[in-house]
Amino acid sequence: MVKVLFVCLGNICRSPMAEAVFKEKVREAGLEERIEIDSAGTGDWHTGNAPHEGTLDILKKNRIEAEGLKARQVQKEDLNQYDYIIGMDAENIGNLTRMKGYSESGEIARLLDFVEDGAEDDVPDPYFTGNFDYVYDLVEEGCTRLLSHIREKEGL
């Protein structure tokens, strides 16, 4: 099983969106028995909460399943248990890198680093910008490229 964890700050806007979009792509590819997916936040303010209304709305608009998404805080063990830890922005990457010790083996990367010709490096935080449509487009493209990367690397 290849394990993928999406990480943002609050785990209510961007990373649950990426989790749901990536799950849909993995299902479409028939790889749901091969790739396990979750999301978490570097902060703990929203632990146990459902995603933000803006994330739920955009997922619904795109007919993507949002059932069961629930916020949690990323733990040090996650960095060993997940093969790919995918942050949404440079701040997430900084926080994850500081958490990672010698024994944690997961690869930490930023989602939009897989989109080589993209306009953005960071997925902007819609909690502050309110622009869930733009974030969805970035997350969608990032997830497409990430899945290609994982399929090639893992021989799936």
Catalytic residues: 8, 14, 125
Binding mask 60-99 for ligand 4NP (x = CB under 6 A): ----------------------------------------
- Does residue 8 bind ligand 4NP (CB under 6 A)? yes
12 binds ligand 4NP (CB under 6 A): yes
**Which residue in the set 85, 125, 132, 143 belongs to the binding site for ligand 4NP (CB under 6 A)?**
125
Distances in whole angstroms, Cα of residue 18 to Cα of each of 2, 65, 85, 98, 139: 16, 12, 12, 23, 6
* Tokens matching residue 2: 């290849």
Query: Does 11 sit near ligand 4NP (CB under 6 A)?
Result: yes
Cα–Cα distance for residue pair 38/101, rounded to 1 Å: 21
Those residues whose C-beta lies under 8 Å from the C-beta of residue 99, and which sit 6 or more positions away, are 74, 76, 79
Q: Which residues bind ligand 4NP (CB under 6 A)?
A: 8-14, 41, 45, 125, 127
